[in-house]
């Protein structure tokens, strides 16, 4: 097995993909909350689905890095990669909260 070290450009590309998809997911999750607040529950549910689709893409990118490291290929963390992971994890939490908030708005409307 050939072991390699990811160069900064490769890691930066993956990090930007994670940030991009996590950002899309975050926007959709917030739009879901705003839609639910207005009583547009079908729209809110659609936004949650879009958020989950985007965060899954970001998670897949992140998981690929984990798999590479598990294979022995060195992934040197950078500030950009740490930022990407932070965006990924905080957005996953936001989506879970958005799902709950949508359900709460359904109950009170």
> Among residues 35, 83, 92, 106, which one is catalytic?
83
Side-chain-side CA neighbours of residue 104 (13 Å): 10
Q: Is 21 among the catalytic positions?
A: no
Beta bridge partners of 5: 74
Residues assigned a catalytic role: 83
């Amino acid at each position: 097995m050939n072991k390699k070290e990811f160069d900064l450009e490769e890691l930066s590309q993956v990090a930007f993909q994670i940030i991009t998809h996590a950002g899309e997911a975050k926007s959709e999750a917030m739009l879901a909350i705003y839609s639910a607040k207005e009583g547009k529950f079908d729209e809110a549910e659609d936004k949650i689905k879009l958020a989950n689709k985007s965060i899954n893409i970001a998670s897949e990118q992140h998981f690929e890095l984990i798999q590479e490291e598990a294979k022995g290929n060195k992934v040197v963390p950078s500030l950009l990669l740490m930022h990407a992971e932070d965006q990924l994890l905080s957005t996953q939490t936001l989506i879970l909260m958005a799902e709950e908030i949508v359900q709460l708005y359904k109950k009170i409307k």
